[in-house]
Amino acid sequence: MHDPVAPETLPSVLNQYDLGVFLFPLRTLSKLHHLPNKFFDFVQARLGLVFSPAPEIEAYFTTYGVGVLTPGTTADDLVETLRHLTSDDVAALKDASAASAAALSSDADRATQSAIINRLVGIG
């Protein structure tokens, strides 16, 4: 286990790796439709992503090409998925994360939130 790191240093710390892996058992409807912070952490670190299957994750993977889904949530599912990834696949996933990082950053959300608040309070 690695020591914890401050949130603002997480992308640079994670960037020394190739893949961000997140397996999560989907036992509830909420978990089935989750979009975890790790997704965004890994993209901002410019990693390729390997996640257990979930509709929201699949939609983002389809749109941005940043990762692959395992067939299930077991260690065997992860191993099987990793066995099929080539170094070219990993490089392509990392490139897709780099290309998508701005679109998937919190900057766009912050700008939208500010615009909504300003409109509600009559500024601008």
- Span 36-73, pLDDT tens digits: 999 999 999 999 999 999 999 999 999 999 999 999 99
pLDDT of 124 higher than 70: no
By three-state DSSP, how is residue 50 classified?
Answer: strand
The model carries a pTM of 0.85
**Do 74 and 61 meet the contact criterion of CB atoms below 8 Å apart?**
no
**Do 97 and 11 meet the contact criterion of CB atoms below 8 Å apart?**
no
Two tokens, residue 18 = 């190739």
Q: Where are the domains positioned within the chain?
A: 7-121
